[in-house]
Structure 1
Amino acid sequence: MPIQYIPTIEGLSKFGDYSPVAVADNIVAIAGQFGTDGEDPESQIRGAFKNLKTALAAADLGFEDIIKFTTFVVGRETIPHFMKLRKEIFAEIYPNGIYPPNTLLIVAGLVHEEFVFEVEAIAQKKN
């Protein structure tokens, strides 16, 4: 089966030449998502997960289909904001308390200087 790329998704901003979602058989890759509606870390984190939900929906998926997250934070000072909000957000989207694996990377910067958080995901499409 050829790879299906979803090059644009209504409601999502793009920051370069790439597709936000790719589907290969039953594996779905979601490009890193930012929260573009706020300047403070907490608004950006909430917005990034909102945008991730939008990207998942474009492939007819939800958070329950995610098999792995990769998160990027700018500077150690962003980690406490992420940890606090992840507890809140994950309690909502994973009420059973079992969460997918997550790799957390501390980076010097993201595509735009004002961004301090990005999240990408790998998901599984059920046949």
Structure 2
Amino acid sequence: MELLNPKTLTDKVTSVISHVVVTTASKLAFISGQVAVDETGKLMGSGDYRTQAIQAFTNLKYALDAAGADPLQMAKMNIFVVNHRPELVSVIFDAGLQVFGSNWPKTASTYIGVQSLADPAWLIEVDAIVTFP
């Protein structure tokens, strides 16, 4: 997978994402939206964006593990945040960095503020597309 950040596009976001991802992968995994529930379905962090983001990214990591994928194989990630405010960007990305550490995928990414998710208690949802060599 090749990550591209052309000089003609801003570098203000490239510490956490890449503008373009090029892959010749023939096998893909599509990971459904992961939210802040544990393996029993219990909500983690009611009303708390940071705790919910940590759990959603942890669940994404579990899904990657189940697929036999490394986080750095993510070609695309979407992050949905209920009632987005600018100060939440660092909260959400810091949570992702806490979960993935040096394996944080600087991949093509879209951060989307939404009015609500499927369950009104959910504040964060993260999905991904993964490539395999």
Give 1:94 shift: 5.9
Give 1:91 shift: 7.0
Give 1:82 shift: 4.0
Aligned 8 A contact 2:77 2:126 in 1: yes
Residue 61 of structure 2 corresponds to which residue in structure 1?
A: 53
Closer/same/farther in 2, CA of residues 92 and 115 from structure 1, 3 Å limit: closer
Name the CA distance, whole Å, in 1 between partners of 2:60 and 2:105: 19
Deviating runs (4+, > 2 A) in structure 1? 79-85, 87-98
Q: Which amino acid aligns with 1:89?
A: G
Query: What stretches of structure 2 of length at least 5 have no aligned partner?
Result: 1-25, 38-43
Q: Superposition pairs for residues 41-120 of structure 1, below 5 Å?
A: 41-77=49-85, 79-87=86-94, 89-90=96-97, 93=100, 95=102, 99-120=106-127
Name the CA distance, whole Å, in 2 between partners of 1:124 and 1:46: 23
Matched residues, percent identical? 27
Q: Which amino acid aligns with 2:90?
A: M
Offset from partner CA, 1:69-108 (integer Å, 9 cap, x none):
111011123x523423414533763638871111111111
Q: Which amino acid aligns with 1:124?
A: T
SS of equivalent residue, structure 1 residue 124: strand
Q: TM-score, normalised by structure 2?
A: 0.66
Aligned 8 A contact 1:27 1:125 in 2: yes
Query: What stretches of structure 1 of length at least 5 have no aligned partner?
Result: 1-24
Name the CA distance, whole Å, in 2 between partners of 1:97 and 1:50: 12
Name the CA distance, whole Å, in 1 between partners of 2:95 and 2:50: 11
Q: TM-score, normalised by structure 1?
A: 0.69
Closer/same/farther in 2, CA of residues 82 and 48 from structure 1, 3 Å limit: farther
Closer/same/farther in 2, CA of residues 54 and 92 from structure 1, 3 Å limit: closer
Give the paired residue count.
102
RMSD, aligned CA: 2.4
